[in-house]
Amino acid sequence: MNDMPGLRTEPAGTEIRREPREPRHTVHKTHSHLWNTLFPSRSALLIAIFTCIVAPVSLVALHIHENPTFSPTDEAEHWDYLKTLAEGKIPRLGQRLQPSTIRALECRLTGLHGFVLPPCGSLPSPKVYPGGGYEYEAQQPPGYYALTIPIRWIGIDVLGFDDLTASRIGGIVWLVAGLLLFWAAGRLLRLGPATVGLGALLIASAPAIVYQSSYVSNDASSVTAGAVALFLSALALRRPGRWMVPVMFVGGIFIVALKVSDALAIIVVSVLFGVLAYSMRSGLRASRQGGSQCLRWWWPRGGAILFGGAFGALTWTVIERRLALINARTLPSFSGLRKVPIGTTTILREALLMLQPLTGSYDPFRTTNSATPPMSSVSVDLQMIVATALQYLLLAGGLAGLFVIRRQWSHWVGLVTLPALYFGGVAVGIAIFITYDADPSISGRYALSLAPFLVLALIASIRGRWVERGLWIFALSSFGLGFFFLLSG
């Protein structure tokens, strides 16, 4: 695969070159050119439809159907947040769960093991609910919930689903949107349709993605957040212009408005553009203006999105602290995580789980607390084998830049993303520990926004048709086995 203009390390002594502006076209020609770029042939369109729509919709919809119980990853609290916001109220840390949420928990049960609930229909006070019945997810920014409200409304009033199922459908929409943005970014970076489709299918069929997209949680929007950052980066490289500063700034705000930890994608983009700017320097020793040239090239790309993310995160932190009714460090909900002393090594060890964003933090597709029979041991074992293979593939793709020819953009994507996963995990762990005075319990789902970057690094490092065909066989097998697991158990 050829290097892209603006993504190549220029020889020392040359200047950072701006890409020539493309000629202006009519609206019709512009739309036609964009369509031809994204879908150059009918086969490319069919690949996109299957990998970005059919595969994720079928897997996630089937997973929702087979698992009526609440997810152990705080789904009840996320759902309560969504309903409260839909009523025109802003959730506040320290509020109690709504009676309708308590009622649903009693009757649907939860996949969280050891979580004892009152009998269905008893409707006790939220105070006797385990953990005190606090809405502890109120510290999350409202972006995901606000954008999921209309999807929930369509699910209830148009499609006729119950409230929880309609809310879960939002995860399908978020995943499809993220995969389509991933497709657009890959095509802008001049990857072939079959290569981009391979990456989309690897994401769509990954166990953690299917799991997190099937429940009400802002984790369901993290792949989309990462894809937004990736798409804006590709657009800034291929179509630079005056639009970059405002759009990248707003993009940074949008990403952290979905989930603050998704700012890891912003940091990767900012660092990546910094590395590329330095790589294209004219030679700081040879030119006194080399540093300023790097800064001018970096600012509208990596700088604008970084400042946008920082502004959004700071703004929400101030708002959330003023709205809170209780100190997060005293929340009874996390009392169980305060029993074990937490040290620096605990956070350093837990941060290693961030290196598996597509395979960590998921339960078998059919849980033991589900209303349907649990999965067979064979299905669980095969699922674990596929997940482990995918984990090592992503790590290999991220490190490929160390072993392939340098001066290619994929070299930097992987090598920037991997350290960001670990050190970002350390930062997230410290933030959670300081906020709640509890074990941060770092997990791979905090790094979902970086999954598109790792997958991009993997597929961009492919060399040879047989390697790509082998990965396609693996991706199709992952999709087929996942579908079979859900149907048969």
Calpha distance 440→435 (Å, rounded): 9
Please give the structure tokens belonging to residue 328: 């997060």
Residue 375 has pLDDT above 80, yes or no: no
Render pLDDT for 11-64 as a digit per residue (tens, 0 to 9): 333 333 343 444 444 445 556 777 888 999 999 999 999 999 999 999 999 999
Residue 145 has a pLDDT of: 97
The one-letter amino acid code at 328 reads A
Residue 189 has a pLDDT of: 92
Mean local confidence (pLDDT), 323-351: 83
Q: What is the DSSP letter of 404?
A: S
Calpha distance 193→203 (Å, rounded): 15
Q: Contact at 8 Å (CB) between 258 and 269?
A: no
Q: Contact at 8 Å (CB) between 230 and 410?
A: no
Confidence of residue 488 (pLDDT cuts 50, 70, 90): low
Residue 4 has pLDDT above 50, yes or no: no
Residue 267 has a pLDDT of: 97
Name the residue with higher pLDDT: 361 or 321. 321
Residue 305 has pLDDT above 70, yes or no: yes
Residue 314 has pLDDT above 70, yes or no: yes
Q: Contact at 8 Å (CB) between 69 and 369?
A: yes
Closest CA to 262 of 449, 482, 95, 408: 449
Q: Let me know the angle formed at the C-alpha of 18 by 6 and 178, rounded to the nearest 5 degrees.
A: 50
Indicate the average pLDDT of the chain. 84
Name the residue with higher pLDDT: 66 or 221. 221
Residue 14 has a pLDDT of: 34
In the 3-class helix/strand/coil scheme, how is 15-44 assigned residue by residue? CCCCCCCCCCCCHHHHHHHHHHHHCCCHHH
- The burial of 202, by beta-carbon neighbours within 10 Å (0-12 exposed, 13-18 middle, 19 or more buried), is given as buried
Residue 168 has a pLDDT of: 96
Name the residue with higher pLDDT: 284 or 295. 295
Residue 263 has a pLDDT of: 96
Residue 135 has pLDDT above 70, yes or no: yes
| Cβ neighbours, 10 Å, residue 439 | 20
Least confident of 102-106, 238-242, 282-286: 282-286
Calpha distance 139→215 (Å, rounded): 19
The one-letter amino acid code at 293 reads Q
- The burial of 149, by beta-carbon neighbours within 10 Å (0-12 exposed, 13-18 middle, 19 or more buried), is given as middle
Residue 120 has a pLDDT of: 80
Residue 37 has a pLDDT of: 86
Calpha distance 372→374 (Å, rounded): 6
Q: Let me know the angle formed at the C-alpha of 341 by 442 and 437, rounded to the nearest 5 degrees.
A: 60
Render pLDDT for 250-282 as a digit per residue (tens, 0 to 9): 999 999 999 999 999 999 999 999 988 887 764
Query: Which DSSP string corresponds to 39-67?
Result: -SSHHHHHHHHIIIIIHHHHHHHHHHHH-
Calpha distance 66→16 (Å, rounded): 55
Least confident of 15-24, 34-43, 331-340, 387-396: 15-24
Domains of the chain by residue range: 43-488
Calpha distance 432→435 (Å, rounded): 5
Which residues, 6+ apart, have CB-to-CB distance to 210 below 8 Å? 56, 59, 60, 63, 204, 362, 365, 482
Calpha distance 422→450 (Å, rounded): 11
Mean local confidence (pLDDT), 63-81: 89
Calpha distance 482→479 (Å, rounded): 5
pTM for the model stands at: 0.89
Residue 22 has a pLDDT of: 43
Residue 81 has pLDDT above 90, yes or no: yes
